[in-house]
Amino acid sequence: MKQKIGFMGLGIMGIPMVANLLKAGYPVMVYNRSPEKADPLVKQGAGLASSPQALAKAADVVIAMVTGPEALNDLLWGPEGAGGAFNHSKVFINMSSVAPSYTRQLAQELTPSGVIFIDAPVSGTKKPAEDGTLLILAGGPQAKVKELEPLLLAMGKKVIYCGAAGQGSMMKMFINLLLGIMMEGFAEVLNFGRIGGLSLEAMLDTVYSGPLNCAMFQMKAPNLENKTYPTAFPLKHMTKDAKFVVDTAFEMGAPVPVGQVLVHLYRTGVAQGWGDEDVSAIARVLEYFSPKA
Amino acid sequence: MKQKIGFMGLGIMGIPMVANLLKAGYPVMVYNRSPEKADPLVKQGAGLASSPQALAKAADVVIAMVTGPEALNDLLWGPEGAGGAFNHSKVFINMSSVAPSYTRQLAQELTPSGVIFIDAPVSGTKKPAEDGTLLILAGGPQAKVKELEPLLLAMGKKVIYCGAAGQGSMMKMFINLLLGIMMEGFAEVLNFGRIGGLSLEAMLDTVYSGPLNCAMFQMKAPNLENKTYPTAFPLKHMTKDAKFVVDTAFEMGAPVPVGQVLVHLYRTGVAQGWGDEDVSAIARVLEYFSPKA
Amino acid sequence: MKQKIGFMGLGIMGIPMVANLLKAGYPVMVYNRSPEKADPLVKQGAGLASSPQALAKAADVVIAMVTGPEALNDLLWGPEGAGGAFNHSKVFINMSSVAPSYTRQLAQELTPSGVIFIDAPVSGTKKPAEDGTLLILAGGPQAKVKELEPLLLAMGKKVIYCGAAGQGSMMKMFINLLLGIMMEGFAEVLNFGRIGGLSLEAMLDTVYSGPLNCAMFQMKAPNLENKTYPTAFPLKHMTKDAKFVVDTAFEMGAPVPVGQVLVHLYRTGVAQGWGDEDVSAIARVLEYFSPKA
Amino acid sequence: MKQKIGFMGLGIMGIPMVANLLKAGYPVMVYNRSPEKADPLVKQGAGLASSPQALAKAADVVIAMVTGPEALNDLLWGPEGAGGAFNHSKVFINMSSVAPSYTRQLAQELTPSGVIFIDAPVSGTKKPAEDGTLLILAGGPQAKVKELEPLLLAMGKKVIYCGAAGQGSMMKMFINLLLGIMMEGFAEVLNFGRIGGLSLEAMLDTVYSGPLNCAMFQMKAPNLENKTYPTAFPLKHMTKDAKFVVDTAFEMGAPVPVGQVLVHLYRTGVAQGWGDEDVSAIARVLEYFSPKA
């Protein structure tokens, strides 16, 4: 018997994730502040809840995929919030990207209700969400994560167990810091080579032919080539995530010398008005710093 | 008819490169300051020259693979230097890693002799040199590079044409800057995650399962895991290369905000006495900056 | 008729500030979590309140000088908190160092009570507090700040009007960022010169003889000379302040490229266990990064 | 009996320095590539040499004050160079700003001639050169520096003995690094405060009223206020000096984490076309990185 799912948050990520749950045969009820977003999913068989609390009452497993702490707090603790219907027989999975410190605080707030709390942010954006190939970074009780794996694998290709609740978010930051470094690094070296007179073609050929080659470079190279940055992962979100990482690192005393520089670089991109472009628009920042041709 | 090769510099790279030339059927004469290094190659059929000039006289194509500008200048312009035997019927290929500015100056110094000058540094270290899978980054007259491709492919898997002489070195710096950034980035995020309580296993699993995965990470991960850094590419060479890049960027006005930080980080590793360890020992620098457990 | 003062927080700064208020003839009542700290002040004529609220009831002007937001929140909104006794006939002056964002939020929380809120952090540490030569950076209604000037000048040598409530804190961060940069800069150049073979004496002579000379360098030079760092302003507080600045700059999009590097450097000092030493112990961080002699 | 002086290099600095030597009663002969620059000095009593060598033959003490190593090499070793007339009865004082490594190499090149070599770069720009209040940073044999003090004090207010030849240049870099840091720091905090809503007047009042106040800030504040940067010390020279420092630090392994950032920032200013403005135009770089109002 498949669990009844309640899904809150129907953005770029949420809609395809629900679609994949439905395809996998899960009964899903959805809630979104703007209910019209649910229309296509309702056509595919989803139910529509009138409030987060109604959704949580009807569901075995409540999943949230929203833009950040504020939205999540509203859904959980606002009027008719889901939190009011939580109890020890239910599971709450937060798949939204938030700081580990927020997740640990959330875990404490949820404790009195008895709900089983899993934090399971994802690595991957729109396309993997549609293809069901997200990487799911799960924190919480290990046995429970194991038990929920079939459900999670309806949305992703792999579940990585990261430790207690909060460690999923920590892993998300870990991988996003690496993304931020590699994306900036790619843009930095291509800009350096360009100024030094190398052709983009030869530079990419060199990268692709050696041990530094990775799928991300191949995905982003066309943006850098065309100097257009259609948004898969917005620069402003990378900026926010980089700030999360650097703040967390500061608390722990972990040195992130490159991360610290990145915050400044990505933030400059936002300040120049490119926050809604793709993260690969960091190339614009490097060009902005360069001598004008 | 295969060209007669004269090869100067029998270090970690030079020895297997000559061995591969011999295997491919090229007649090779070698020169090295310490001639005993040539013994195994002589057994495989190489001739041994008494001086760089003797070598250059006997060869159609002279190849140099030495540690830097000083060694190269000695071989070319020192007593009985190869430069004295250069003429327009000969080709000189410098495969040593040097700065683009040095290469451009070298090109000028070679002009009066009429020798055809190719700069062709390689990407790849000991293992690819042995396997003949180096990536060869060639600068010089394009038709000549094309013509020499069979010879170059005896030592490598691919030749990338980079532009005029000097641009091979520029491409080498381009790719080494990316290597330096990715190596440090990998070490930085793993150290961050470790302090944040993530297991190395889960972190590597996360990297390997996503679009940031690359062969270099897989090669270097065991070093970071075992905290031993057997040298494939020495930290001190990465440091020197990073300085080349940053100096070249300064001349051109290219921003290398992360490259600039890297110089400091790698240099700190050298200052602490880890210069002869592998470049992956940058992990020791990050640990050195971290709170003691 | 002098205002009746209620003073909360009897630390390194608070004690001499109260002593100066008493000397200037103000009636002062004090409150401190550990009441024994009040003993010397009681001998000098101060009254001792049993709770923050009792203190606030008795006073015209309530002053807080505590270590940060947590302590301040406790005193204001904890059990028997001062906030409960605030009304439109009273003035509340926060002289503790806090972030501008916190101050603006505090201003909002205080609004319903009608209390007149002044934020007035100080520049200067123990010695200026004792000598009554603090620099007072005041934010709030300008006429009210003017009116309170005689009271503030009992503790300091000068009042600088900075704008609305919150701008005192902003100015504090402004000047502390400059302090952090100059202190690190002084240590960085002296360490550079030392490694380059210059004598400390000649370096100081050069600084003191030119337009970069400032009182702070003269105060801190003996610490650097003796390699002992008796605490006037703790390294950990500088670290916290630098983080405030960088966070505020991030929110606003202000570039603080050097500030950002400083956070890392000062934080490294704290991670190495030197947080309770004077800010001038940043010299230890630079030595820590240097080659061992 | 005053020494006969030969002075090479009649730029912004050289002209007033020669004028001060003449005022102090020294017989001075001058040489400059563009001889018309000498006219006003000839009117004041200077002799005009037809070549550097003629000048060196006639002088007891040869002083050079030129823009860098290339100009200096020309004057010393070019056709009719001064170097050809050097011998053990003459003194050569280089007051031009060059890297310590260059100075040490120059010392070696001068050794065969027997000339006594002093390196004596100055701290201070146009105005102090005119007023005879330069700070002279002297390296070389200590007794000889002592003996030459009266001559040097005709051009400056103080001579600081820095060690062997090369250490004068080292000290120059030491003080210029501090200048670069403080100038950028001043611009960085004023830009931060401006974005945070503080008035320039209140910010300057705060700086001037505390222990961070220094003459340089007071000199440069009007530039920042008016956003015009009349050149006392060009941004491009600061950039070059910062690069010298960072290169020297790299060689020695000295950490200059802020210096390294500065090179990037000042270089960006040059890349944007502001190299000929005053060093205080670093404020333009910070504005360039800021959100547009």
Burial letters A200-231, b for 16+ CB under 10 A, else e: eebbbbbbebbbbbbebbeebbebbeeeebeb
Pairing mode, strands A5-8 and C47-48: unpaired
Whether chain A has a CB inside 8 Å of the CB on D271: the answer is yes
- Helix C167-195, helix C215-226: angle, nearest 10: 50
Choose from C274, C289, C290, C292 for mutation: most chain B CBs within 10 A: C289
Within a 10 A sphere around the Cβ of A112, how many other Cβ atoms? 9
Q: What is the pLDDT of residue D126?
A: 86
Q: What is the pLDDT of residue D99?
A: 87
Radius of gyration of chain C (CA): 20
- Contacting residues of D for A272, CB less than 8 Å apart: 291-292
SS3 at position D90: coil
pTM: 0.92
Which residue carries 């502390």 as its tokens?
A: C176
Q: Which residue type is seen at B16?
A: P
Cα→Cα distances D175→C286, D123, D211, D262, Å: 18, 8, 19, 14
- Helix C167-195, helix D235-252: angle, nearest 10: 60
CB contact under 8 A, B243 and D255: no
Pairing mode, strands C5-8 and D116-119: unpaired
Which residue carries 């320095």 as its tokens?
A: D17
| Subunit partners of chain D (3 or more CB pairs within 8 A) | A, B, C
- Rounded CA separation B39/C271 (Å): 53
List the catalytic residue out of A57, A90, A172, A220.
Answer: A172
**Class of residue C166 by CB neighbours under 10 A (exposed 0-12, middle 13-18, buried 19+):** buried
Total residue length of chain D: 293
SS3 at position A94: strand
The alpha-carbon gap from B239 to the nearest alpha carbon of chain C, in Å, equals 15
Task: Please answer whether residues A157 and A134 qualify as being in contact, where contact means their C-beta atoms are separated by less than 8 angstroms.
Answer: yes
**Residue of chain A nearest B190, judged by CA positions:** A174
Quick check: is B144 catalytic? no
Q: Which B residues, 159 through 188, put their C-beta within 8 Å of a C-beta on chain A? A: 160-163, 167, 170-171, 173-175, 177-179, 181-182, 184-186, 188
Choose from B266, B267, B288 for mutation: most chain D CBs within 10 A: B267
List the catalytic residue out of B23, B43, B90, B172.
Answer: B172
Q: Which helix (H) or strand (E) holds D239?
A: helix D235-252
> Residue A277: which of A202, A226, A204, A216 has the closest Cα?
A226
SS3 at position A234: strand
Strand partners, D161: D138
Cα→Cα distances A127→A106, A219, A221, Å: 29, 12, 17
CA atoms lying within 13 Å on the CB side of residue D22: 19
Q: What is the 3-state secondary structure (H, E, C) of C140-203?
A: CCHHHHHHHHHHHHCCEEEEEEEECCCHHHHHHHHHHHHHHHHHHHHHHHHHHHHHCCCCHHHH
Confidence of residue D292 (pLDDT cuts 50, 70, 90): confident
Task: Please answer whether residues C103 and C165 qualify as being in contact, where contact means their C-beta atoms are separated by less than 8 angstroms.
Answer: yes
- Contacting residues of D for A271, CB less than 8 Å apart: 289-291
Choose from B125, B133, B181, B189 for mutation: most chain A CBs within 10 A: B189
Q: What is the pLDDT of residue A293?
A: 67
Whether chain B has a CB inside 8 Å of the CB on C195: the answer is no
Confidence of residue C144 (pLDDT cuts 50, 70, 90): very high
**Residue of chain D nearest C175, judged by CA positions:** D207
- Contacting residues of D for C207, CB less than 8 Å apart: 175, 178
pLDDT digits (tens, 9 = 90+) for A69-95: 999 999 999 999 999 999 999 999 999
- Rounded CA separation A58/C143 (Å): 60
Whether chain A has a CB inside 8 Å of the CB on C253: the answer is yes
**Residue of chain A nearest C250, judged by CA positions:** A267
CB contact under 8 A, B289 and A171: no
The alpha-carbon gap from C260 to the nearest alpha carbon of chain D, in Å, equals 10
Within a 10 A sphere around the Cβ of C187, how many other Cβ atoms? 24
List the catalytic residue out of D57, D172, D220, D240.
Answer: D172
The alpha-carbon gap from B174 to the nearest alpha carbon of chain D, in Å, equals 18
- Rounded CA separation B259/A187 (Å): 12
**Class of residue C70 by CB neighbours under 10 A (exposed 0-12, middle 13-18, buried 19+):** exposed
Tell me the average pLDDT across D15-43: 96
**Residue of chain D nearest B250, judged by CA positions:** D267
Question: What is chain B's pLDDT, residue by residue, as a tens digit (293 residues)?
Answer: 799 999 999 998 999 999 999 999 999 999 999 999 999 999 999 999 999 999 999 999 999 999 889 999 999 999 999 999 999 999 999 999 888 889 999 999 999 999 999 999 999 888 899 999 999 999 999 999 999 999 999 999 999 999 999 999 999 999 999 999 999 999 999 999 999 999 999 999 999 999 999 999 999 999 999 999 999 889 999 999 999 999 999 999 999 999 999 999 999 999 999 999 999 999 999 999 999 86
CA atoms lying within 13 Å on the CB side of residue B121: 25
Which residue carries 């994560």 as its tokens?
A: A145
Contacts with A176 (C-beta within 8 Å, 6 or more apart), sequence order: A123, A238, A241, A242, A245
**Class of residue D43 by CB neighbours under 10 A (exposed 0-12, middle 13-18, buried 19+):** exposed
- Rounded CA separation C270/D267 (Å): 32
- Rounded CA separation B135/B19 (Å): 17
Q: What is the pLDDT of residue B68?
A: 86
Contacts with A139 (C-beta within 8 Å, 6 or more apart), sequence order: A103, A118, A119, A120, A145, A161, A162, A163, A164, A165, A166, A167, A168, A169, A170, A171
pLDDT digits (tens, 9 = 90+) for C204-226: 999 999 999 999 999 999 999 99
Q: Which long-range contacts (CB under 8 A, 24 or more apart) does B215-222 make?
A: B215/A210, B215/A211, B215/A212, B215/A213, B216/A211, B216/A212, B216/B179, B216/B182, B216/B183, B217/B182, B217/B186, B219/A211, B220/B183, B220/B186, B220/B278, B220/B280
Q: Say yes or no to pLDDT of C150 above 70.
A: yes
Concatenated DSSP letters for chain B? Answer: -PPPEEEE--STTHHHHHHHHHHTT--EEEE-SSGGGGHHHHHTT-EE-SSHHHHHHH-SEEEE--SSHHHHHHHHHSTT-GGGG--TT-EEEE-S---HHHHHHHHHHHGGGT-EEEE--EE--HHHHHHT-EEEEEES-HHHHHHHHHHHHTTEEEEEEEESTTHHHHHHHHHHHHHHHHHHHHHHHHHHHHHTT--HHHHHHHHHTSTT--HHHHHHHHHHHHT----SSBHHHHHHHHHHHHHHHHHHT---HHHHHHHHHHHHHHHTT-TTSBGGGHHHHHHHHSPP-
- Rounded CA separation A289/B71 (Å): 37
Task: Please answer whether residues C181 and D188 qualify as being in contact, where contact means their C-beta atoms are separated by less than 8 angstroms.
Answer: yes
Task: Dig out the tokens for D261 from the structure.
Answer: 């950032």
Q: What is the pLDDT of residue C293?
A: 67
Q: Say yes or no to pLDDT of C288 above 80.
A: yes
Within a 10 A sphere around the Cβ of B113, how many other Cβ atoms? 17
Task: Dig out the tokens for A70 from the structure.
Answer: 């504020």
Q: What is the pLDDT of residue B72?
A: 96
pLDDT digits (tens, 9 = 90+) for C4-21: 999 999 998 999 999 999
Choose from B239, B240, B250, B266 for mutation: most chain D CBs within 10 A: B250
pLDDT digits (tens, 9 = 90+) for D253-271: 999 999 999 999 999 999 9
CB contact under 8 A, C263 and A257: no
- Rounded CA separation C155/C123 (Å): 12
Confidence of residue D293 (pLDDT cuts 50, 70, 90): low
Contacts A–C by Cβ distance under 8 A: 32
Within a 10 A sphere around the Cβ of C108, how many other Cβ atoms? 11
SS3 at position D133: coil
Question: Which of A137, A261, A286 minimises the CB distance to B261?
Answer: A261
- Rounded CA separation D115/D118 (Å): 10
- How large is the greatest C-alpha to C-alpha distance in chain C, in angstroms? 65
SS3 at position A190: helix
- Contacting residues of B for D243, CB less than 8 Å apart: 250
The alpha-carbon gap from D245 to the nearest alpha carbon of chain C, in Å, equals 9
- Rounded CA separation D20/D63 (Å): 14
Task: Please answer whether residues C117 and C106 qualify as being in contact, where contact means their C-beta atoms are separated by less than 8 angstroms.
Answer: yes
For chain D, give the mean pLDDT. Answer: 95
**A137 phi, psi to nearest 5 deg:** -105, 100
pLDDT greater at residue A12 or residue A207: A207
Task: Please answer whether residues D94 and D62 qualify as being in contact, where contact means their C-beta atoms are separated by less than 8 angstroms.
Answer: no
Contacts with A105 (C-beta within 8 Å, 6 or more apart), sequence order: none
Whether chain C has a CB inside 8 Å of the CB on A33: the answer is no
Pairing mode, strands C91-94 and C116-119: parallel
Q: Say yes or no to pLDDT of A8 above 70.
A: yes
SS3 at position C233: coil
Total residue length of chain C: 293
Could you report the predicted ipTM of this complex, rounded to two decimals? 0.94
CA atoms lying within 13 Å on the CB side of residue A274: 24
Confidence of residue D125 (pLDDT cuts 50, 70, 90): confident
CB contact under 8 A, C261 and A260: yes
Task: Dig out the tokens for D293 from the structure.
Answer: 């109002």
pLDDT digits (tens, 9 = 90+) for D139-160: 999 999 999 999 999 999 999 9
- Contacting residues of A for D290, CB less than 8 Å apart: 271
**Residue of chain A nearest B288, judged by CA positions:** A255
Within a 10 A sphere around the Cβ of D61, how many other Cβ atoms? 20
